[in-house]
Amino acid sequence: MGRLGVDLYPLRAGVGLDRVETFGRFLGGSPANVAVAAARLGRSTALVSRTGADPFGTYLRRELRGYGVDARWVTEVADQPTPITFCEIFPPDHFPIHFYRRPKAPDLEIHARELDLPALWAARAFWMTGTGLSAEPSRTATLTALRARAEGGEAPEGGGRTVQDDQDRERFTVFDLDWRPALWDDGDTPADQARPLYREALRHATVAVGNADECAVATGEHEPYAAARALLATGVRLAVVKLGPKGVLALAADGTRAEVPPLPVDVVNGLGAGDAFGGALVHGLLAGWDLERTLRYANAAGAIVAGRLACSAAMPSGDEIARALAAGSGSIPALTGQGPVEPPTASTSRAPLEPIPDPAPRDDLREDPREAPEPPRGPAPEITRNPARRR
């Protein structure tokens, strides 16, 4: 549930937006990417969000369905445009991101009265983010959804879950701490003002996921183990702290702990790695895997996406994750027939990336095949969509 928009990513690396002329268009927004990531791993997923009543909104709903994500709860807002996000690509660790969500993003216009609470309650896993708490009416809607999950909710008509179902099949309510102060009401909300809202959301969650800075917003603790313990003290059953180049650690309420190192990768674009991690984390939790196995699997998914240009289009399959784990590296070639979703790059973890030439225009990426092709700019790497996606 939450953020949804269009990602416009430059097809040149190592240069600022003022010099980029060609962009790739992708479905974006962290919760949407997580839904796509889980769908790529075979899970049945849906998204609760909103878009503008415009062509970009139509594009996003079509993309969601193409990736296998149920878009029935993605509705239109008549007077607000679909958000657009640009990024700059300076591997291995600098990816400035520019959000265009003013005056207000449609995904912050989710109303509690419009929620399908029986469906939210029935889901085995529910994923929400800190950005959903940033403004009304999304704030109230997000907390309403969390309370419905925690308090049992009304079963769907004609079937659905029973108390015995809940005892037999563990359910997960995941709070992605997702701290982006620029997206809050005034664009400059301090962490101590957001903390009470985070604490309220954590009361109803069973899993908390965030990096060290996000955990500090939620708990006031920045040291990873102290932050994880503080998250458990709020009542969640599992606290996952992402440590970037140091890997990830997790503490569970039953005393289980795991800390795993990162999977090496030559970074192309690190922005989608956390969403790939999230989709794979939920997959492992639903599969009932032990904590270390789940974290290693999620780490591998994140590493694969960090080695590719896009976010949603780059989400790996289970076979790709297995190959990455076997190889000990996230820098793996795409599966036969899948095609690359990123331009080939130099080893960005060891040396500055040279600018990548703009790709020549391609007929299959234009919305209108009757449009006359532009003059090609010269030889360049081919950027393709993910054929695993269903049209």
Q: 307 and 276 in contact (C-beta within 8 Å)?
A: no
Name the pTM for this structure: 0.84
- How far is the C-alpha of 201 from the C-alpha of 141, rounded, in Å? 11
Predicted pLDDT of residue 187: 64
Task: Kindly compute the dihedral angle of the four CA atoms of residues 138, 140, 142, 143, in this order, to the nearest 10 degrees.
Answer: 160
Torsion of CA 103, 108, 111, 115, to 10 degrees: 150
CA 378 distance to own-chain centroid: 34
User: What pLDDT does 335 receive?
Assistant: 65
pLDDT per residue of the chain (391 residues) written in tens, 0 to 9: 999 999 999 998 999 999 999 999 999 999 999 999 999 999 999 999 999 999 999 999 999 999 999 999 999 999 999 999 999 999 999 999 999 999 999 999 999 999 999 999 999 999 999 999 999 999 999 999 999 999 875 444 444 443 334 434 689 999 999 999 889 876 667 788 899 999 999 999 999 999 999 999 999 999 999 999 999 999 999 999 999 889 999 999 999 999 999 999 999 999 999 999 999 999 999 999 999 999 999 999 999 999 999 999 999 999 999 999 999 999 998 664 343 333 333 333 323 333 444 444 434 333 343 333 343 333 333 333 343 454 4
User: 254 is written with which tokens?
Assistant: 């039953």
What integer pLDDT is reported at residue 348 of this predicted model? Answer: 30
Neighbours of 287 (CB within 10 A): 13
385's tokens? 């969509």
The Cα–Cα gap between 23 and 11 comes to 5
SS3 call for 39: helix
Structure tokens at 285: 């939790």
Amino acid at 223: E
Residue 213 phi/psi, 5° resolution?
A: -65, -40
Q: How far apart are CA 164 and CA 175, in angstroms?
A: 25
Backbone angles phi, psi at 75, to 5 degrees: -115, 170
Q: What is the pLDDT of residue 185?
A: 74
> Cα–Cα distance between 105 and 84 in angstroms, integer?
10
8 Å CB contact between 183 and 101: yes
Q: Which residue has the tokens 């839904």?
A: 35
Among residues 174, 171, 172, 194, the alpha carbon closest in space to that of 182 is found at: 194
Structure tokens at 47: 């998204």
Residues 104, 2: contact at Cβ < 8 Å? Answer: no
Q: Is the separation of the CB atoms in 38 and 114 below 8 Å?
A: no
What is the maximum span of the chain, computed from C-alpha positions, in angstroms?
A: 64
Tell me the C-alpha to C-alpha distance, in Å, between residue 346 and each of 253, 350, 385: 43, 9, 21
Residue 310 in 3-state DSSP?
coil
Transcribe 154-220 into DSSP letters: PPPTT----HHHHHHS--EEEEE----GGGSTTS---HHHHHHHHHHHHTT-SEEEEEHHHHHHHHS
pLDDT confidence of residue 159: 41
Distance CA 312, CA 47 (A): 14
